[in-house]
Every structure is written in structure tokens, then in C-alpha cells.
Structure 1
């Protein structure tokens, strides 16, 4: 395909379509992206971006990877790893070098690669790829500690692995007389100074610029984007690929600064990153040539087995001894190590360069890297969820509900959902109200839901839905607006009456969906609970259909949601929710049972004055007499 504009459009469309399809089918997105890249490139020969893009290929890939790593750095806050900081340090500082050394030995003695190729390949496979691990973590919904360890390792190890590969490559040039050893040492030291010192300085400078009001809101994201690209390019002038470390340090620095607009910047960068990851993975995979894939033999399979089943578990097992992790967490972390874009991009760069310098098996490094990437994407992508479930390391086996505001209404709802095995938690900053929820044996979180402590300590991956039900409608709107980008705008709900006029109603872009239609205020719900209204769970069957359910309810009863047999929750007030069907369990909010019986009697008396009405009346009178005697 010679038309580059059409090629870019096809790559972009296929990348986002793969992301959407993966979300719809609940599959790891990286698996579909890898398959699309193979289809576009080696399998059909429709495109070869490396040849088609020419000299622009390498700088475009390098810049895209730098932006992805910076966005990853923005997610790393030191408060998040207070419990796992020891484990993270050991995995990066001890496990990384061990993986490098052992992988190089395996590449030479098992894969039969030359020492230059083996050393560079060993360095490359230190990385575990945030572009792969992030979608997997989003899909698997792990508990906070193992998720934090895997995320930190992936983001910090990526630039370090690339830097290790650069040092190996430059070392080869020194040995063969193309560089002076003193020059390499100075370049490495200078690059580290720029990467660490420059990354911290740039991050703090941007924080000062943004917090002091020296940049308007509409320019903050463009300024950030331009500085990331510039810092990556400047560091690369000193030492190739060292810019990845610079932008990672810069992102971590900004993540730990108190920048009020950081959330908006994160969302912008996350959007850019999804686009780049989707397109970049297809580009890199499509650039792989069929001859390279066919060059793989049984030695490559043996090498992959050694990397996945011996080297990684051994390195993690030794480095995490006494690091405060239990055996389940150590086992999960030792298995999950998918490689991604950085390994592929740097392998393509150095593989071709080594071949041009006379290393006969330089191209085989590209094939081995892709083989490891493909194996880890498939094996780790499809086993992370089941393994986490087997080890009881998933945050929640079913979609959960986060309730904000402890009251009789939310406590009653939480108890009903808990009885249906739906994960539920009530958050409130008032101790007396939260105490009532704790007495009701409902899981609680005491504190301000909008605080940094809640952001770092409350694992939101457990919850697919939020209900803001405090006594302040404006506060409910603020909470749902803040959490909507993370949980999903169609999955955040709030109580409260809708405004009677345009002047009093909020903008449709603010707040969550109404929990009830028409809306009910906090006071109304409180009075209904005092009057005896409660929540009921009713399962629909072949004999008891939705139509019969509606017919047997007292007037005023409202369906809040229903639970599908798969555990998925469908809220009645959601757009396009439809009606519950056989097998669904309806959670309804209505008057007490005695009032329902009276309603049945009234209906029976007016429509059919037969024995059933008399029997119902006698039953109620009998219950009242027994209550009086007690």
C-alpha cells in the first residue's frame, strides 16, 4: 500500500476498532492488535511501515514510545506504594539485572545466538511493557498490591531495559574500535544526569508554570506535549534511547506534585496514549517480515520456555524474599511479565544496525523478540484473570457498587445487594453515620471520597457502578462528575430532584444519571424508609414473568436495578436498559408487605369478590392478633 495517508487511516481505524471489540468481548486488546498487525504485514504483505515510512519510521516510533512512557509515569504516585515500595525496589534493582544476565546466557547457550546479540536481547527482555500490562490490569481488576507492583515495574523497567540495550550496543562498538571506552562512559554518565536531573527539573518547572497561573488552561496540554517530545529528543542526542528514562522521570515528578489540573492533563494524555498504542503496535507488528518469522526454529521455543518458566520466576522469587509479599502475590508477579512496544521498537533498531555492522544473527534478535512478545501476550493475556481468581487476588469476582453517603436508605440497599453477593461499599466522612453502616455489617470506607487518600487507598477497580446519595444534591453532582471518567459516565448515579426550571436545573454535562425517575430527594427517601419501605429481591422464572411481577407490585414500587445471571448489573434508569427477562433478579424499592396485602385485598374486592379476598383478610387479622398477644 503506497498511499501513506490511506495507510495511516487504515491503521488508526483498525487500532481503535480492535480496542472497541476487545472491550465488547472482554478480551485483552493487545491480542487483537497483534493479530491485526500480523494480518496487515507478514500474512498478506499489504503494508510494511518500516519501508513505507522510510527515514521517518525510527523517530516517529521513538517519539510515540516516549509519550506512552510519560503518560505511564503520570500514574505513579509514591503514596500508592507505601506497602510495596520494598518489593518494587527489589524487583527493579535486583530482578532486572538478574533477568538481563540469565536471559543473555539463555540466548547464547539455548538460542545459539552470538554474544553481542545475546547481551542486547537480554537487556531488551528486562522490560515488561506498560503498553501491554495496563490493558491487562484494566481487564483483570486485580487487588491493589499486585496491580501496583506490576504497573510500577512495567513503567520503570521499560526505559531501564532500553538503556541497558544501548549500553550493550555501544560496548560492542567500543570493543570493535568504533568508539573510545572513555567516550562511552562519559556519554552514559552525561545521559543519566540529563535523564534524571533534567526529568526532575522539567517536571518541577512545568508544575511551577501551571500552579502559578503562567499558562492558560487551553495551552497546558500542548505545552506538556511539546516539552515531552523535546526532552526525549535532547537526551537522545547524548545517548540513543536515553530519552525514555528522561520522560519517565518527568512524568513521575509531575505525578507527585500538587498540580490541580493534573487530572485533566492525565485524561488528555491517556486519550493520546490509547491512540498511539493502538496504532504503534500494529505498525511494529506489520513491519515484521515473513522471512524473519520463518527463521524461528525449536531453539527459539526452548529459549521462550527458559525465559517464561525459569528465568522470570527465579529472578522474582529471589529478589522478593522478605519483601512483605505473600506467596500468592509472588507467584502472580513471577508469572505475569508481558513484553511490548519498547522491546519490539528497540529490537528493530539494534537488530538492523548489528546486521549492518557484520553481526550475522542480528536479524534473529528481532525474530526472538517478537516470539517472546507474542508468547507473553497470548499466555499472560489469557491467564492473568483465571490465575488471579484462583489465587484470590482479584479485587472483585463480580461487578460492585460504590455508595457515597451512609443513611438508612443506602444501608438497606447495601444489605440487599450484599445478600445477592454483589460487592458493595459505603463511603462517608461522618463517623456517626459510617458507624451505623458498620453495625449493619456492610463494608465501609471512612473519609472524604474526593481526597487523595481515597484515590490512592480505595481500589476503584472493584466497582463498576457508583451511587451518590448524600443529603446535598450539588455534592452528589460533584462526586459523580469527578468519578465518571474512571467508572464510566453511564454507570454513575445520584439521588435528588430534577430542577423545575432551566434556571434551577444543572447542565446535562454535570452530575450522574438519576437513580429514580422521577427523581427522589434525600428527605423523600428518608421518609419512605421510616414509613417502612424496603428493598426486595425477586427472581424472574418461566412461571413468574416480568409482567406478573409488575402486576403483583403495589402502586409506587420502583425497580432500581436487576442482576443478570452473569452477575452484571443493569440499572432501570439507564438509557436503553430495556426490561428484565427470565433468570434476572430484580431489586425493587417499595412499601412494606402488609400494605401490599391490603392492596391485593382492595383489588380482589373490586374486581372479583370471591373466597381469595376473604382468606387474605383473615390472614392479616390473624397476624395482628398474634402480634398483640406477644
Structure 2
């Protein structure tokens, strides 16, 4: 075992973020890799045991991390987003949660062999899915907007409800079975829950008011928010255990619906913090398990309980609760299957295991084993199946990476038409109906709106698009668009056209630091490209083969040609830029802008047709 606490923290961070990177690189569920990494570092090889080594600070660290993660997730719960989803979401988080609780308690009693008291406590906890596991899966699966929003809202809203339900079940059982606990104790629990909601609302309104009135400078806004979140969670949790989760959820939802620009500006920073916390906390939890806990999972009763929760309790609760809603059968099937459990279930179950054991319920020693069995099983089963099932149900936006182009012009319309011919999803967005007319006449998908507006964020689904080209008439506006969408697309997938060289806005130094990559070769400005497209320059698609290599293509191409992009067989697109010289390989398609040399055009077309026929034969 590693004795140094500092080295343990380093290893936990490396394993957590390393798992996230490997998941991105190899398109695997991140939560699965984190679970495996934690098990290898903890109970299997014995390198670390955070719960034992960190001592008294272990649980507070976990608790505060869960509070911040839940707050960050609830900041995305804008009521504008739930338009059209209200009834299904409300039914799932109320009736669906209640059905899941009752069915789960019966399964825990009759199959897992738990007493009724322990069964109802743990079943309340198991209605939780939560943002720590749902949000990474949604990013991975690229679901259509409707089922993705339903799963996100359910995960974030039910997270505190599940913990509170477990507390309520415990208090109610104590009320029934104990002579010392009266109705006042039960009433105090409901009052504490109401206090937590009001506290969260007040904290959210207070922070919002301070920001709007300018009482907090920009550089202090993120620290202030996080300090208030921890204070809100701690105060509520000290009043009644687990109500802190309800308080931070209420605070996040309050801030999300105030629509304060400062909160929106900080959202990406908070997402990064949340990702770091999810990665490290999940490693800490799995690494703190023991081999005895893992061996208990192989118990036939525990395995039977997990199977019932996977294939009966969850699907049945969703199916019954959504009767009479407008959810389609594929949507019900997908939502009824996807319910991974995560950090909240693991942390709260360990708390109740100790409390119930103190109350004399000996079967509570199985709680951690049952919880981890369900967490790991659901994470693996749902993590590896969500993409496959979404595709089968036609609920996935999976496909070749698409290109979103802001700004309709002669050049961008022809470029979009060429991409469409290459089977690349493409869309042009512009705030002018007049400029979009040529795109609609060319059969190119369009969206009328301002790309930076809040309305566009709610009404336009950007899931199919992995590349963004800012191609308006203003360099500064293009740079602003690229900078705004860095967290969404990643800096490497953001491009912009230069309006002019060494003139106009003359933002050369600015766009290199905060904008997107400047497309194509030096001198290929917005004005020049549109001028050439208007003069009859052709967009030519050339197949690179074993007999006609990229070197041959470069030797034979017209001197006036401008190289635009390379489409790979995988669907990936590499754009030519001023600072990045890409090369085509066999099987790639090179798109370029060629001069309108009619005779050369005919010869080139005939040569390409002959090469294609030879390759096919």
C-alpha cells in the first residue's frame, strides 16, 4: 500500500482523468473504466484504501463533492428546456419513483432476503440515477434531444429525492417500531426538507441579486458561488442528514431560471470542476471497497435482486408511470432500460449500513455489497448498451460527424452542397431569411436564427455536428462565435474564414488567441472565396487511390486551386488551414476549389472517371 497521502491523491487523480481520456479516445463508457481502475487500485492490488487512509475527512470530502456535482447538474434545469416534456418528466419523478420504490422493496425482501425495514430504506435509495452517471452516458450516446432531456431531468431531480426517501423510510420505520420515537420526529423530518428547499431558493436568489447589482466582482463570482453551495449544503445537512442534497438542487434550479449572464459564463468552468470531482470521487469509492464486499456480490440472492431491478422493476415503473403521455414505445423502452446508479447510491448506502447496524438490523451488513453490485451492473450494462439500443430504436443522432456553418453566402452554400453530396450532415445557420434563400434553393438544410442567442440554444439540436465554421462578413464576430463554442466543439473543431488579409478588422493576433483556426491557405479570405465562387470556380472532389496518390494529385493540380478539406473513410473531416498542412491517404476524398478551365475540367473529369472504374473493377 502507498503510505503517502499526497501520492494517493496523485494516483486517484491520474486514474480518474486517465479513465476519462481513455473513454474518449476509445469511445468506451467512462464510468465503467473508472470503476475498473478503482477496483484494481483498491481491493485487488491494495495500492490505496481512501476510506481507511483519509480517516475522518473521507466522508466530508465525498459529501461536498456530491453536493457540487448535483448543484452543477441542476444549473442545467432551465424550465424553458422542459417545454413539451413536462408531463412525462413529472410522472416519472413522482409516480414512477414511487412504483420503483415499492417494487424495489418487495424485490429486496423476497429475493435478496432483507428485512422489511432494511428493504424499504435501500429501495428508496435505488430510485436514484443521478448526473454523475447519466450525463457522461448522454455525452457518449448522442441521443436525440427528447429522450436525452427526459433522462437528464429525471437523474438530477430524483437524485436528492432518493436520498430523502431512504431517510423518510428509516424515520417512518423508527416511528412504527420504536416507543421512543414519536410523530414529532417524523414531522420534524418533513419540516427539515421544507427548510432545505427554502434555504436553497434563498441562497440562489441571494447570489443572483448580488451578481445583478454588481456587488461581486467578476474574478470572485466562481469562488462565491462554490462557497455558498457548500454553506447551503452543510447547513441543511446539519439540520437533517441528506437534506443538503435537496438544498443545493433547489439553489441550482433557482439560479438556472434567473437567466443571469454571469451564471451562464461560469457554467463551463463548473462543468470542468464537476468532471474532475466525478472522476476522483468514483475512484475513491470503488478503491475503498473490500474483497469481502466483492465476494458477497456473487451471492445468488444478490444477483437475483440485481436482475430483477434491471429487467423488471425499472422497465415496469417507467411503463406504468408514462401511460397516457405522448412518449413513443421506443422512447419508453430506452428510458425504461437506462437507469445507472452512481456516487449518491454508494455514499448514502454506506451511511445507512452503519446506522441500521447500530439500530440492530444485522442484515444491513449486505447493503454495501448489494449497492455496489447494482451500481457496477447498471453502469456496465447501460454504458455498453445505450448506443446500440438508441440506434436500434432510431433515437440516436449517431452518424458521420457533421458540419455547422454560420453565415450564408455563395461560397458557403456551394461548400455545404458539396459536403451534402459526400453524405456529410451539414446545416447553414443565418439570421437573415434573404441570405438563406440561396441555400434553400440548393437543397441545403438551414436554420433561421442568431447562433449566439439563448433561443437558438433551446430550439436547435447541435448534437449531429462536430465541426463549426464561422463564415460571416465580420472577423470579430467569427472570432466571438468560435470562442463561445470552444466548450461545445473543442478548439480543434472550430474554424473561421478570414474577411480580409491585413485590412478590415485586422484581428490577426486576436483570432489566433481566442478565435478558431483560419481556414484554407493564406490569402483565401471571405471576399476572395466568394468572388471566386461567383466567377465560376468549381468544387472538385478527387479520390485518392493506390494508383493516384496524394503526391500525384499535388503535382497535377491547377496552380490556382485552393485546397479545402479531406474526407476520410471513417467520416472524419480534416480542413486545410493556414497553420496545419494535412495529407490525404488511400481511400480519402480531397475537395478543392478549381479555376473554371472548361477543357481542363473535361479532361480531369474523364481521368477521374477512368480511375474510379479501374479501382472498382
TM-score category by the smaller chain?
A: over 0.9
**What does residue 131 of structure 1 align with?**
132
**What does residue 91 of structure 2 align with?**
90
Counterparts of 1:265-276 in structure 2 under 5 Å?
Answer: 265-276=266-277
- How far residue 503 of structure 1 moved from its aligned partner, in angstroms, is 7.1
- How far residue 459 of structure 1 moved from its aligned partner, in angstroms, is 1.5
Is residue 511 of structure 2 the alignment partner of residue 505 of structure 1?
A: no
Deviations 1:369-426 (A, max 9, x none): 1111111111110111111111111124121110101112111111111111111111
Counterparts of 1:148-227 in structure 2 under 5 Å?
Answer: 148-177=149-178, 180-227=181-228
**What does residue 624 of structure 1 align with?**
none
**What does residue 625 of structure 1 align with?**
none
Q: Is the contact between residue 489 and residue 512 of structure 1 (CA under 8 Å) also seen in structure 2?
A: yes
CA distance in 1, matches of 2:28, 2:581: 23
Q: Is the contact between residue 574 and residue 582 of structure 2 (CA under 8 Å) also seen in structure 1?
A: no
CA distance in 2, matches of 1:546, 1:274: 41
Q: Is the contact between residue 500 and residue 525 of structure 2 (CA under 8 Å) also seen in structure 1?
A: no
Q: Is the contact between residue 473 and residue 499 of structure 2 (CA under 8 Å) also seen in structure 1?
A: no
**What does residue 13 of structure 2 align with?**
12
**What does residue 528 of structure 2 align with?**
524
Q: Is the contact between residue 343 and residue 369 of structure 1 (CA under 8 Å) also seen in structure 2?
A: yes
**Further displaced range: 352-361 or 11-20:** 352-361
Q: Is the contact between residue 498 and residue 505 of structure 1 (CA under 8 Å) also seen in structure 2?
A: no
SS in 1 for 2:485: helix
Deviations 1:568-622 (A, max 9, x none): 122222866631101112222222351634998xxxxxxxxxxx9xxxxxxxxxx
**What does residue 231 of structure 2 align with?**
230
Is residue 116 of structure 2 the alignment partner of residue 112 of structure 1?
A: no
Deviations 1:290-314 (A, max 9, x none): 1012123111121111111111111
Mind listing any 5+ residue stretches in structure 2 that lack a counterpart? 608-617
- How far residue 342 of structure 1 moved from its aligned partner, in angstroms, is 0.5
Distance 1:473 1:358, change over 3 A: same
Picking from 558, 563, 568, the partner of 1:559 is: 563
Distance 1:273 1:595, change over 3 A: farther
- How far residue 435 of structure 1 moved from its aligned partner, in angstroms, is 2.5
- How far residue 253 of structure 1 moved from its aligned partner, in angstroms, is 1.1
Q: Is the contact between residue 187 and residue 238 of structure 1 (CA under 8 Å) also seen in structure 2?
A: no
* Higher Rg: 1
**Further displaced range: 251-260 or 549-558:** 549-558
- How far residue 49 of structure 1 moved from its aligned partner, in angstroms, is 1.4
Distance 1:381 1:179, change over 3 A: farther
CA distance in 1, matches of 2:456, 2:599: 42
CA-atom RMSD in angstroms = 1.9
Distance 1:576 1:101, change over 3 A: farther
Deviations 1:165-190 (A, max 9, x none): 11122233334438623233332222
**What does residue 614 of structure 2 align with?**
none
CA distance in 2, matches of 1:319, 1:271: 35
**What does residue 573 of structure 2 align with?**
569
TM-score normalised per structure 1? 0.92
CA distance in 2, matches of 1:490, 1:592: 32
SS in 1 for 2:3: coil
Q: Is the contact between residue 175 and residue 183 of structure 2 (CA under 8 Å) also seen in structure 1?
A: no
Aligned residue pair count: 601
- How far residue 254 of structure 1 moved from its aligned partner, in angstroms, is 0.8
Q: Is the contact between residue 144 and residue 459 of structure 1 (CA under 8 Å) also seen in structure 2?
A: yes
Counterparts of 1:300-339 in structure 2 under 5 Å?
Answer: 300-339=302-341
SS in 2 for 1:587: strand
CA distance in 2, matches of 1:397, 1:184: 55
Q: Is the contact between residue 430 and residue 447 of structure 2 (CA under 8 Å) also seen in structure 1?
A: yes
**Further displaced range: 367-376 or 582-591:** 582-591
**What does residue 608 of structure 1 align with?**
none
Deviations 1:351-386 (A, max 9, x none): 122223321111211111111111111111011111
Distance 1:519 1:468, change over 3 A: farther
- How far residue 129 of structure 1 moved from its aligned partner, in angstroms, is 2.1
Deviations 1:221-248 (A, max 9, x none): 0000000000001001121111101101
- How far residue 492 of structure 1 moved from its aligned partner, in angstroms, is 0.7
Q: Is the contact between residue 49 and residue 286 of structure 1 (CA under 8 Å) also seen in structure 2?
A: yes
CA distance in 2, matches of 1:67, 1:284: 17
Q: Is the contact between residue 69 and residue 155 of structure 1 (CA under 8 Å) also seen in structure 2?
A: yes
CA distance in 2, matches of 1:240, 1:254: 24
Counterparts of 1:617-628 in structure 2 under 5 Å?
Answer: none
SS in 2 for 1:80: coil
Distance 1:38 1:577, change over 3 A: farther
**What does residue 623 of structure 1 align with?**
none
Picking from 451, 454, 461, the partner of 1:452 is: 454
**Further displaced range: 511-520 or 400-409:** 511-520
CA distance in 2, matches of 1:483, 1:307: 40
- How far residue 497 of structure 1 moved from its aligned partner, in angstroms, is 4.5
- How far residue 519 of structure 1 moved from its aligned partner, in angstroms, is 4.4
Distance 1:504 1:94, change over 3 A: closer
CA distance in 2, matches of 1:487, 1:378: 27
CA distance in 2, matches of 1:197, 1:248: 11
SS in 2 for 1:361: helix
CA distance in 2, matches of 1:179, 1:65: 33
Counterparts of 1:374-453 in structure 2 under 5 Å?
Answer: 374-453=376-455
Deviations 1:530-585 (A, max 9, x none): 11113222221111211122223211222222122111122222866631101112
**What does residue 57 of structure 1 align with?**
58
Mind listing any 5+ residue stretches in structure 1 that lack a counterpart? 601-611, 613-630
Distance 1:553 1:103, change over 3 A: same
**What does residue 627 of structure 1 align with?**
none
TM-score normalised per structure 2? 0.94
SS in 1 for 2:302: helix
CA distance in 2, matches of 1:427, 1:419: 19
Deviations 1:97-133 (A, max 9, x none): 1111101100110111111221111111101121111
Q: Is the contact between residue 146 and residue 333 of structure 1 (CA under 8 Å) also seen in structure 2?
A: yes
Deviations 1:251-284 (A, max 9, x none): 1111111211223311221111111100100111
Distance 1:139 1:504, change over 3 A: closer
Counterparts of 1:19-98 in structure 2 under 5 Å?
Answer: 19-98=20-99
Q: Is the contact between residue 231 and residue 246 of structure 1 (CA under 8 Å) also seen in structure 2?
A: yes
Distance 1:549 1:593, change over 3 A: same
